[in-house]
Structure 1
């Protein structure tokens, strides 16, 4: 639907969601109730210059989904940085969403390197699996899990208290947090990735759970000294906290730059 830039430019942005709803309803032979009750994965397949994507219908209002639906790239500078700096090692990519980074990372990784991807939201994970299949990505290991400081079960909130899907903003929470939740397995980088693997980059978009994810990978970080990319604000407790200063900055890491909403830390060996 309206997939070319030539057509998009004639439609004001404020009209696009309405046109999309009309289009979907017109093309759907089922009633809305029948459609909503289908157990089938509800998604749209879209493409950009890096490949194809399975975008979950429930969160097509999210910025990353909107970019892909209109053949654009979400966080293009972040992807370009990852491609240019992934080296010969593996990439840890947490907060995979529907896989909007996966085609670019997997197709540009070094020969023999693996993309270790983690997504706790089950719908996002299922869509990311389809994204992997569409692009025939054989170097991606995708887990329906979150990254933490220990292996255990927890919860991921997938929608706001009003019921609106959070999409890529889904996050690990306590059981008493508001919103619709799912149980989820938490894993640690150190337990998933063997000591025989070299990790070049750890990229985290885990909505406030960065410190726990880094704690669970501290042995890997000390062994490999990968580039660390976290989506967080400069005033985040992660960066200003004692644990990060002692265990990450204490290894010689320095902040290199900011890309979109991400902060890049590199070790002394890469400066």
Structure 2
């Protein structure tokens, strides 16, 4: 039996959980104390889409997914998981015992391309150890943990669903999952947040088909079902907010339903997203409708819509004479997809000099300067961005931090 923890013993319709009291200090998981399940829609989608095989789930946190996943695979499969934070690992071990789960394989590894070691923060600079402090490179108290790859952990299993919730460390985990992803039996990948670099490097040929609980669902086939349709609807509404922020409008009339069927999704793509994509392909001009389409494409791509196509299209028009909004759209996406920061900077810095009142290109130029190690130039560019948008709190915070760190 795992060692004792100062914790709450919580219950929901799936099982029983060990929740360390320190993890409730910021209120995020206090609902579990009252029997409110975490990330309910995500669990429902996994149950709906499971077609046999094993499920890989990391990080385990307190094992809040374990009872639902265990019920999903039943006696036909296993749950393979890992949790490197000692307190979370102990809590997850308690959850397994409390819920009487026999088909969960829990390890203490952090995920990377191969075996090794990694430092992760377990407390913030104020000594708090709530769940979100466990990040690679975060300020605070750190510990060294062993690493291994998803492929090694899963070599004896038949993974059909891969679910990663790693507080931003997904990119390193995916480097060690190439064989797992290449297996045709792996049909569903779930990633917390839409991470452009992960999609670009590891999920080419996969389609982002929905969002639930801030998790994004990628598939290589058409999925159908009540809950995945609800996730499609969530993604559609995020797209609609982008469209509403642009002066140009599409012809798509949103349905009154809270979900979006596969057929409705195709209509949405045909009537709203594809026309914007075609306008960019035809040649982006420095006039309002086309430039707005470029901004829309950039934002759509960050939610999984035609990322590679958009990058290739905008790259054709990325030059020293490019409109600053086009340069910003392409270079932002390219940087997020491991683009060459110096090459991007060579063009963006000149465009920013010619358009000193364009806040976004100045902001991006500042980020690129910082990426290549020229912190003085990063501060100067950020100063220009702040002058172009003096009311922006985020711009001011970034400028102040640059000055504090490097000024």
Equivalent position to 2:176, from 192, 216, 231: 216
Superposed displacement of residue 87, structure 1 = 1.8
Q: Tell me the equivalent position of 1:122.
A: 86
Secondary structure of the 2:117 match is strand
Contact 1:95 1:204 in 2 (8 A): yes
Give matches, 1:199-214, under 5 Å: 199-214=159-174
Q: Tell me the equivalent position of 1:254.
A: 207
Secondary structure of the 2:162 match is strand
What count of residue pairs does the alignment treat as equivalent?
221
Deviation string 1:36-57 (CA, Å, 9 cap, x unpaired) is: xxx9421111111111000012
Q: Tell me the equivalent position of 2:56.
A: 92
Where does structure 1 lack aligned partners over 5 or more consecutive residues?
Answer: 1-38
- Give the Cα–Cα distance (whole angstroms) in 2 for the partners of residues 40 and 132 of structure 1: 14
Contact 2:162 2:186 in 1 (8 A): no
Superposed displacement of residue 62, structure 1 = 4.7
Work out whether 1:198 is the aligned partner of 2:158: yes
Equivalent position to 1:227, from 169, 177, 188: 188
- Give the Cα–Cα distance (whole angstroms) in 2 for the partners of residues 92 and 46 of structure 1: 24
Q: Tell me the equivalent position of 1:185.
A: 146
- Give the Cα–Cα distance (whole angstroms) in 2 for the partners of residues 110 and 78 of structure 1: 18
Q: Tell me the equivalent position of 1:245.
A: 200
Deviation string 1:129-167 (CA, Å, 9 cap, x unpaired) is: 000001111100001121111111111212221122231
Superposed displacement of residue 93, structure 1 = 0.6
Q: Tell me the equivalent position of 1:22.
A: none
Q: Indicate the structure (1 or 2) with the bigger Cα radius of gyration.
A: 2
Superposed displacement of residue 169, structure 1 = 5.0
Where does structure 2 lack aligned partners over 5 or more consecutive residues?
Answer: 225-407
Q: Tell me the equivalent position of 1:69.
A: 33
Q: Of Structure 1 and Structure 2, which has the larger fraction of its residues in helix? A: 2
Q: Of Structure 1 and Structure 2, which has the larger fraction of its residues in strand? A: 1
Q: CA RMSD in A?
A: 1.9
Secondary structure of the 1:159 match is coil
Contact 1:210 1:238 in 2 (8 A): no
Higher relative contact order (CA 8 A, sep 6+): 1
Q: Tell me the equivalent position of 1:25.
A: none
Superposed displacement of residue 225, structure 1 = 3.0
- Give the Cα–Cα distance (whole angstroms) in 2 for the partners of residues 60 and 178 of structure 1: 20
Q: Tell me the equivalent position of 1:167.
A: 131
Displacement over 6 Å in runs of 4+? none
- Give the Cα–Cα distance (whole angstroms) in 1 for the partners of residues 202 and 24 of structure 2: 38
Contact 2:187 2:221 in 1 (8 A): no
Secondary structure of the 2:32 match is helix
Contact 1:62 1:167 in 2 (8 A): no
